Structure 1
Amino acid sequence: MPRIAYVNGRYERHADAAVHIEDRGYQFADGVYEVCEIARGYIIDMTRHLDRLGRSLGELRIEWPMHRKALEIVMREVVRRNAVRDGLVYVQVTRGVAPRDHYFPARPIPPALVVTAKKTNPEISRKRAETGVGVITVPENRWERVDIKTVGLLPNVLARQQAREAGAVEAWFVDADGTVKEGASTNAWIVTPEGKLVTRPADFGILRGVTRATVLDIAAKMGLEVEERAFSVEEALTAREAFITAASTVVMPVVSIDGRPVANGHPGSVALSLRQSFFDVAEKSPAC
């Protein structure tokens, strides 16, 4: 069965789907996106993802491409047409198509919308969590508004490629003072020797991760103490555990940083417990 994409009002074969060459997302990265996990036939945390989409659109002064409820219907239809039970659904909204000019278009134009879905194998992620992953550190070189989930991801792309070439899975951006900001596509966490969860405050310095928010809910239910503060690379290396969170990874233990082991170099019990509890606590919306 061929993959199907939704592009500006039409469901099309994924292989044939296209956007205009003067779409401002292509020309200027003038757009935003969201990615939701699909697990066991449910779209996970859809409300929080669409809330964040609305915030990102507002920060860039882009209108919703359609009513929010209509977008939910489109997302479910794309998931249904692609028969995805476990995977990801991707939503991208740009300012639209207009003659190339740095200024916003002088006359109103409709925002452009693309929705796609793809299958993933949850067994691959489960096995990866059993062994944990490595991260590398890279200097922070992004603009200051990383709290907006824009499609302008070139620094993130280069960082992830650097991680792959180093045999790692993720790259953590590090400020000049040595504190960890976040991963190229994840939020960063540690567990202190005293058992406290630490993650950077979700202000303008990091993306306000949806999975991060759900993990905070799980931690509260588990009675875990959380400190929202910066932590250094050295503190992470001496921590009891480290892990990353994102819709594409859920909770993933980190067992090495720049090739140096975290604790005993094996996944920790806190990260694995958070991962195991995630589906039970996260919001679940029927995917079809």
Structure 2
Amino acid sequence: MDLNSDTINASNKTDGEPGYGKNMSGIDIEMSEKNITPNSEGNVSQLTSTISNGIEYNQNIDSLDHTPHRRNILENINSTPHMIQPHLSGEVTLTPTHRSFTPQTTNPHSSMAAITPVASAISQAKSSIKFQNCVSTVSLGCELKLLDIYCRTRFSEYNPARFHGVVMKILEPRATALVFRSGKIVCTGARNEHDSYIAARKFARIIQKLGFPAKFLNFKVQNFIATADLRFPVRLEALQQAHGQFSSYEPELFSGLVYRMVRPRVVLLIFVNGKLVITGGKTRNEIYEALDIIHPILKSFKKN
């Protein structure tokens, strides 16, 4: 658009300030053929200079006198990408044109797989514990004739030269009873407390059916036997030297190290491959507590 012959003046021009007046919008604009063309850099500098001199800018363009030339000039100013857009406070900001920003609508971490924390070594050792045997005792409250019991029952053994009690077995639950003349029974072989109790009741019922005045008195779990796997080899010789007051190790007689723990009062059989046999615990919690205590000790004697 050619503006060589057009000049834009405000409707109310004040004295002493040629080229500037106050219109309804508070802006005075004068464009001459010498200095301003629609797309020149002088246009930008002059407009910036005008704003910096304290002239307030009002975005209400509808209040201006909409002459054809003025409307075209304003449209060109607003549509030019590199023009400076003034604010009401007189500050000047640049409109970025070389780069566009698109906000992300998806979580950038959504494609990452969840990482499951690795369980601690002691937790892995606890998970490997298997209860192999539960030993319990019960009293029948009467004296027994062991030879009579042996002759009248199946799945029983009696050899007084080798052992002073009758060995009886049942299949469900799988358990073995050691029956003594005093009426005491030791029930072994069950995997848990419930099975041990059921087995002891069955043994007492068998003896009662033989004509003995048997009762079921003072049932008690005496011992748990469990196995565990540390999953690392252990230097047994160094362990025995450092903990000699609690352990004994004679590889010529037995391949495992015997470790006698004071509290809880349990006995551990420790093998070079990291396998453990824990016995002597009165409850399951004592087995777990013993493993909590022995694990850091054996970790310090890990074989490289």
TM-score, normalized by the shorter chain, greater than 0.5? no
Normalised TM-score (structure 2): 0.20
- Please identify the structure whose Cα radius of gyration is greater: 2
Where relative contact order (Cα < 8 A, 6+ residues apart) is larger, the structure is 1
Between Structure 1 and Structure 2, which shows a larger proportion of strand residues?
A: 1
